[in-house]
């Protein structure tokens, strides 16, 4: 049987598209979640927007709006489909995001930040939020700091000098998080892929060329045989943005 998306491609009524694509992605995420139930860690979905040439932004320290209005609405729906939403401290410092569901109905996920040096500004919107308190995953040493604005979760530093992502996911699982949407930025996206911990991807490709700061950096890959692959592949257009989604598979994994 072919992709269920194929029957919708082409000339969908403008207003119908977001609902259809949301339902398709929700069903796909649920199916995938069921297949992961034995793993005892949250399902990790990468969700971000890039230009045709693979850039997230013009530079790491500034924000660039790439998605159109419908893709942005889809992003908010995707947030509501996950227990947690995770970004790196680089994204907090560059974008000052809220990470809430605002463009559609639905519950906001638990905000989570990876921040080994505890650079999280007290004045950030996540720290000041009247909603759910932000969880900041940090080193054991920094986790002893007194911070009334956020909850600190200690995790050991891994072999690359960053927070150990396996332990970070374990800590989230112990706190009841069963699914995490990883929204960025590049270093965090690359870290999850390099560790083989990104299970699925929903990518918005905006029709622009940016140069700039690429979404995925060095993965430590040296041959075609080592490439993570995406399958099955689903695609849909939201106006002039292309939405692509699929499961990530790593060489050597049981399929
Ligand atoms: N287009 C989009 O959809 C989108 C989405 C999000 C962000 N962005 C853009 O992305 C840019 C920011 O990206 P970025 O790469 O500079 O920062 P980032 O990925 O948001 O954060 C990276 C930082 O997270 C911390 N970290 C802790 N443990 C980590 C681990 N295991 N793996 C990776 N990082 C870990 C590190 O800081 P410590 O060493 O201090 O812990 C690291 O420098 C901005 O321009 C932002 O606008 C775009």
Q: Is pLDDT of 10 > 60?
A: no
- Each residue of 189-235: pLDDT tens digit? 999 999 999 999 999 999 999 999 999 999 999 999 999 999 999 99
0.85 surpassed by pTM? yes
Cα 228 to ligand 1 centre (Å): 21
pLDDT at 32: 87
- Atom 17, ligand 1: which residue's CA is nearest? 90
Ligand 1 centroid vs 61 CA: distance in angstroms?
Answer: 10
Is the CB of residue 89 below 6 angstroms from any atom belonging to ligand 1?
yes
- The Cα–Cα gap between 68 and 18 comes to 12
**C-beta 63 within 6 A of ligand 1:** yes
Q: Which two tokens stand for residue 163?
A: 């927070």
Query: What is the per-residue pLDDT for 17?
Result: 54
Please state the atom number of ligand 1 nearest to the C-alpha of residue 92: 20
Kindly list the structural domains of the chain, giving each domain's residue range(s) and its CATH number in brackets, ordered by start: 16-249 (3.40.430.10)
Segment 85-101, tens digit of pLDDT: 999 999 999 999 999 99
Quote the ligand 1 centre to 90 CA distance (angstroms). Answer: 4
Q: For position 13, what pLDDT does the model report?
A: 47
């Amino acid at each position: 049987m072919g992709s269920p998306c194929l029957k919708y491609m082409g000339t969908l009524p403008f207003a119908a598209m977001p609902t259809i694509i949301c339902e398709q992605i929700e069903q796909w995420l649920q199916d995938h979640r069921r297949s992961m139930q034995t793993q005892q860690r949250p399902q990790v979905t990468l969700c971000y927007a890039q230009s045709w040439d693979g850039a997230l932004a013009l530079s790491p320290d500034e924000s660039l709006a790439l998605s159109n209005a419908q893709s942005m609405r889809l992003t908010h729906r995707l947030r509501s489909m996950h227990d947690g939403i995770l970004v790196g401290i680089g994204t907090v410092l560059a974008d000052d995001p809220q990470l809430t569901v605002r463009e559609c109905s639905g519950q906001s996920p638990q905000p989570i930040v990876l921040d080994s040096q505890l650079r999280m500004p007290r004045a950030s919107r996540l720290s000041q939020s009247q909603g759910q308190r932000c969880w900041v995953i940090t080193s054991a040493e920094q986790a002893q700091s007194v911070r009334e604005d956020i909850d600190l979760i200690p995790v050991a530093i891994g072999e690359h000098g960053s927070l150990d992502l396996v332990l970070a996911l374990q800590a989230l699982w112990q706190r009841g998080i069963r699914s995490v949407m990883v929204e960025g930025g590049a270093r965090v996206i690359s870290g999850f892929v390099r560790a083989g911990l990104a299970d699925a991807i929903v990518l918005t490709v905006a029709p622009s060329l940016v140069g700039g700061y690429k979404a995925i950096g060095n993965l430590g890959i040296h041959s075609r045989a080592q490439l993570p692959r995406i399958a099955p592949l689903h695609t849909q257009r939201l106006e002039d943005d292309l939405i692509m989604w699929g499961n990530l598979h790593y060489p050597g994994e049981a399929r």
